Each structure stands twice: as C-alpha cells, then as structure tokens.
C-alpha cells in the first residue's frame, strides 16, 4: 500500500545532526561544513553570514546591517542581537534640509548609518560560538579571493547599474568590471580587496590576546577603531552621486563607528495557535507580523480561499498603518496596547467585505496618530513592490536581503537577516572592497514622527527574522528577504504551517501574495492604495474574487514572491528539520 504525498519542489529535510537554510547554496554549504567540523549553530551562522556578504553583494554586504534572533540550548529564552547601526552624529535634520532635500536619498553616502553587520557577527561568534575567527572566515575569504559563480540576479544588477558605475561610481566599476565589461552569469568573480579586508581582521585576531574572546575583540577593534574605520572616515568625506541626482559627501565618521556597538535585548512575543512567535522590538518592523496575527486571532482561516486572502490583506493594511504611525527607535511605542485584545477587536471590526483604500492607523490609549507627509515623486512601475528598491542617478537597480537559519544537534537555534551595503547602495571603498549601506532612507525629514531622522537612533529597518516557541521549547527559526513584504510573506508561511497543517516545504511552496497599500520604507517612498500583488498560482477563482471585492490585483509570475528559509526542531521526536525557497533558484537547505 502506498500513501499519497503532496508534491513539493524539494523535500522537507529531516535529521538529527544539524540543519542550515539560507538564500544561497554556497552559504548553506559553508555553514554545514562548520557543523561537520564540530562547530555549533552560532559558528555556522557566522560562517554562512560572511559568505553571503561575498556571494550576494547585490543583496547585502559588509557595510550593511543585521538583526539576529536566537535561543541557546542551555537557556531557551529568545534573544535579539541588534546589529542595526545608528544614524551618525552629523545626521541632523538641519544638515539634510540645508542641502535642499525633502527625503533621505535612497543611495549614496548621505544615507549611510553606522555599519553594524560585521560587528554583530563578531559579537555573536565571541559570545556564543566556539571556533576561532580564522576558522569561520576561511570560507568567505576563499570565495572572495579565489572566486565564485556569478548568479543571474547579480549579473542583471550589474548590467542595470553599469551607466552609474562608469559615469559616477568609478571605484565600483574598478571592482566589478575587471575585464572591462559586466560579468556574465556563470562567470567566476573575485573581490581580492574584500578578501584582504577579512584577512586583516583574522590577522588582528591572531595577535589579539590569550583567549578566544580577546582575539575576537581585537578584530572588533580593528573594525570599529582601526583600519576599517579609518578607511570609511576618509572615503565618506568625498562627494558622490546619489539618488537625489546630485553629489553629496557622507556624514558618517570613524568616531561614529567607535562609539557604537551591537546590543542584546528581549524580543516581543505573541501567542498564536499554540505557539509563541517572537520578533525584534518596534525599532524595526518585526512586531507588525504579531499585529497581523492579533487581528486574525479567533478567525476562520482556510489558506487558498478568497476570504482568507481578503482578510489577510485587509489585516496587513491596518497593521502596517500602525507601523507607519507608531514604530521607531527611541519613540514611545504603545506595544502592549497594539497587541492587546480590546484594541484588536476594535481594529478587526474595521475589516469590511470590500477593500479599503485608506491608510488607517489606530489611536492606541487614545493617542492621536501622526503620519508622514509624503512629497511628490515620479511614477514607479506596477511590479516594483517585490523587494527593496535602491535607486541611483544614472542607473537603477533593485536590492533585497539575504537570510540564514541554523539549528544544531544540541538545540541551539539561530535566525539572521543580513542586509544593506548593497553594491548599488553607494560606491565601493577601494581599500576595503565593500560599500556602505543606505538604511537611513527609512527615516523621515519631518519633525515629531516615530521614525524622524535622529542622530544616535536606529533607522526603522524592515529586517525581521522570526523565532517560534511551543511551550518552553524553541521549534522554528525562519525569515524571508523582501523589504516591506518580509512580514507578509512570513505570515503566510506561518499560517500555512500552523493553521493549514502544511510541512515546512509545503508552506514555503504554496502560492504567495502581499499588499502594496501602504508607503514603502525605501526611497522614493511610494504607496499603491488597494493593490495586491499575487503569484498566478493563487488561481483565477481567488484572483477574480479579490478583484470583485475592490482590490487592484497585479499578477506576478508563478514562482516570483519571497525567499523563505526555515529550520526547526521536533523535541518530542528528537528530529531537526529544514526547508528552503525554490524561487530565484539560489536558496538551499542542507542537513543530516
């Protein structure tokens, strides 16, 4: 007798030793190699993270940012490690206004916060890993020095920005157009300057002290107070073209880098379907996933139906409206009320049988909401809401994010969402082989908002890893790149799994959709009221049903939305699990 099995693009992996899932197979393989050498989940995540800087430079880089959610096997409490750098001391409203700007540019040096990704990875390794820096950086150094195959996505990005690089960002052209032309997909690309930067960090660690922790601290110092900070400070003083169409120097300094370090903090949690879902605090968009769950609490949910899609989209509109009004670093965010049953009962009652075309933030605790006033901008194509846009004068390209999850045989669980520092963010710093990020484009140049640009505060990032507990046991670590869509695509995955009963791979493979109703976090901050972007596989019945309810439906390719990664634990059975997204044909899960 045979049993029917749902077809999936790849198997849900099961084993007992360790699992790694990431947005690029080379990173997943590197992380698994670390596990095979006896490293733990933290060692493996750091190795994979540095490889992602090298092999997906259009999606993240060493000059970017990083939030991590993790649970240690000997503790099990979910913890956030924040590698989101703050706005520099010189990033004042007065300075930006003096330049005649009404938005922070989406690219160039002006938008650069303190780069936090590398300090966060080093901090994670120092405090929770077991291996030396040389051992975990060996993979990234090798790919940067000896080369890796160029993906179609990377080749397309470089072709898109070629005019910008040749005319304005000449240091980037020198790194990426080494043979005088843009690299072709499948060709081997090398970044020797980046390899040298990482090797200098390793060398600093080797001479840094008697203990492993002291050696990693020496590498941190080399980054934040040594040769990296010096090169950043010097480079940022030069004016370069940005998305405003003008040339501007940056405000980031070596002193800003020396004054900042990654921090640990407690996450925000919400109980749903017998599990507790944890996200970063509202300095990022993470709690918007929890607000969507709170709005769906107690509702009849059948994935794949018109009613399901309608209620999910309308709930997203309400939750993201609250994000716009209430989320920000250093702001008095009424998080308990936003997740409370009374507030959500009132908000849930706003969901009508037809689509809303308004942006409707709530008034938690009776506080009036204040939304940004958006300036006028040029139209953006209808399909431009599926990632993280980074536009620059003389050429434009879309960036995105990467992700890595790891679970090891001891039960350590890590979810990490590196991003920023895209090759299309700003010019390459020649001495270092990487560029700075542009996360400050997520702030507003208006007084009194939750996300007003403020020196020393974190831009409200879209980066949003997820950790899930069942009882006291950590059981899932996951995430998807995708900017404002991260916590919509992750929501669908979670509902497919917890409510729809799908296994991890089935939940990833199921058709995906999202709302583009609210203002994007990325320059030039457009919004598309009433718009739903959906994979065609959602089916004509659902797509037509959404249209009949007043939604503007933009049909995307069958396999086009999301880059989900996930690892999990089944403590009762003693099993580890993993799955990865087939979309984009780069992500992979490995394990045994």
The dihedral region occupied by 525, where left means phi > 0, alpha psi between -120 and 50, and beta the remainder, is left
Q: Are 590 and 13 in contact (CB under 8 A)?
A: yes
* Distance between CA atoms of residues 272 and 286, nearest Å: 16
Q: How many CA atoms lie within 13 A of 184 on its CB side?
A: 3
Compute the residue count for the chain: 592
Report the pLDDT value the prediction gives residue 399, as an integer from 0 to 100: 64
Is there a contact between 257 and 119 (Cβ–Cβ < 8 Å)? no
The pLDDT of residue 589:
98
Pinpoint the alpha helices (H) of 9-84. 25-36, 41-55
CA distances to 46, 176, 271, 406 from 128, in Å: 11, 35, 27, 13
The per-residue pLDDT for 2 is 40
Distances 517 to 324, 354, 480, 533 between C-alpha atoms, Å: 12, 14, 20, 10
Q: How far apart are CA 173 and CA 180, in angstroms?
A: 9
Closest CA to 433 of 423, 442, 420, 444: 423
Bridge partners of 19, per DSSP, are 407, 591
Q: What is the pLDDT of residue 5?
A: 66
State how far the Cα of 81 lies from the Cα of 464, in Å rounded to an integer: 12
> Residue 27 in contact with residue 590, Cβ under 8 Å?
no
Q: How far apart are CA 189 and CA 408, in angstroms?
A: 32
Q: At what angle do helices 212-224 and 117-128 cross, to 10 degrees?
A: 170
Interatomic CA distance for residues 486 and 551, integer angstroms: 21
3-class secondary-structure state, position 236: helix
Tokens linked to 442:
């997520």
In the prediction, which pLDDT does 398 show? 56
Give the residues of the chain that fall short of pLDDT 70. Answer: 1-5, 376-399
d(CA 134, CA 555): 47
Confidence (pTM) = 0.96
- 522 class by beta-carbon count within 10 Å (0-12 exposed, 13-18 middle, 19+ buried): buried
Query: What does 301-351 look like in DSSP terms, one character per residue?
Result: --TTSHHHHHHHHHHHHHHHHHHHHH--TTS---HHHHTSHHHHHHHHTT-
Q: Which two tokens stand for residue 452?
A: 């007003």
- φ/ψ of 498, rounded to 5, equals -80, -35
């Amino acid at each position: 007798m045979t049993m029917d099995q749902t077809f999936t693009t790849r198997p849900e992996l099961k084993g007992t030793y360790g699992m790694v899932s990431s947005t690029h197979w080379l990173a997943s393989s590197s992380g698994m190699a670390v596990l095979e050498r006896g490293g733990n989940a933290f060692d493996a995540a750091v190795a994979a993270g540095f490889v992602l800087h090298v092999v997906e430079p259009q999606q993240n880089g060493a000059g970017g940012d990083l939030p991590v959610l993790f649970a240690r096997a000997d503790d099990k409490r979910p913890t956030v490690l924040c590698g989101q750098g703050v706005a520099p001391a010189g990033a004042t409203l007065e300075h930006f206004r003096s330049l005649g700007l009404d938005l922070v540019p989406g690219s160039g040096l002006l938008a650069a916060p303190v780069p936090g990704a590398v300090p966060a990875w080093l901090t994670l390794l120092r405090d929770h890993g077991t291996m030396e820096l040389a051992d975990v950086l060996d993979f990234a150094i090798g790919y940067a020095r000896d080369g890796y195959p160029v993906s179609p996505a990377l080749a397309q990005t470089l072709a898109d920005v070629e005019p910008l690089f040749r005319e304005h960002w000449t240091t980037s052209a020198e790194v990426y157009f080494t043979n005088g032309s843009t690299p072709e997909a499948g060709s081997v690309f090398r970044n020797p300057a980046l390899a040298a930067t990482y090797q200098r960090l390793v060398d600093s660690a080797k001479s840094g002290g008697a203990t492993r922790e002291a050696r990693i601290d020496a590498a941190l110092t080399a980054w934040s107070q040594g040769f990296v900070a010096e090169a950043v400070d010097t480079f940022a003083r030069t004016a370069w073209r940005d998305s405003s169409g003008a040339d501007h120097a940056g405000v980031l300094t070596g002193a800003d880098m020396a004054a900042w370090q990654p921090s640990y903090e407690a996450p925000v949690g919400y109980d749903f379907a017998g599990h507790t879902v944890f996200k970063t605090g509202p300095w990022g968009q993470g709690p918007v996933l929890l607000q969507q769950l709170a709005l769906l609490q107690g509702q009849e949910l059948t994935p794949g139906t018109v009613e399901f899609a309608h209620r999910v989209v309308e709930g997203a509109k309400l939750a993201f409206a609250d994000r716009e009004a209430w989320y920000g670093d250093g702001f008095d965010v009424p998080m308990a009320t936003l997740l409370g049953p009374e507030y959500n009962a009132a908000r849930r009652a706003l969901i009508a049988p037809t689509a809303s075309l308004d942006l409707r933030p709530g008034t938690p605790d009776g506080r009036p909401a204040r939304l940004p006033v958006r300036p006028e901008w040029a139209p953006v194509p209808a399909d431009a809401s599926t990632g993280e846009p980074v536009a620059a004068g003389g050429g434009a390209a879309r960036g995105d994010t990467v992700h890595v999850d790891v679970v090891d045989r001891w039960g350590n669980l890590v979810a990490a969402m590196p991003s920023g520092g895209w090759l299309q963010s700003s010019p390459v710093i020649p001495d270092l082989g990487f560029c700075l990020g542009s996360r400050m484009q997520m702030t507003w140049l208006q007084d009194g908002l939750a996300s007003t640009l403020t020196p020393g505060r974190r831009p409200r990032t879209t980066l949003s890893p997820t950790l899930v507990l069942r009882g006291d046991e950590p059981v899932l670590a996951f995430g998807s790149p995708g900017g404002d869509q991260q916590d919509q695509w992750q929501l669908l995955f979670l509902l497919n799994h917890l409510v729809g009963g799908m296994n991890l791979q089935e939940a990833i493979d199921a058709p995906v959709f999202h709302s583009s109703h609210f203002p994007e976090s990325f320059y030039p901050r457009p919004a598309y009221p009433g718009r739903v972007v959906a994979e065609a596989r959602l089916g004509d019945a659902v797509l037509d049903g959404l249209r009949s309810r007043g939604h503007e439906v933009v049909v995307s390719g069958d396999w086009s939305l999301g880059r989900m990664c996930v690892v999990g634990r089944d403590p009762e059975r003693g099993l580890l699990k993993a799955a990865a997204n087939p979309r984009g044909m780069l992500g992979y899960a490995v394990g045994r």
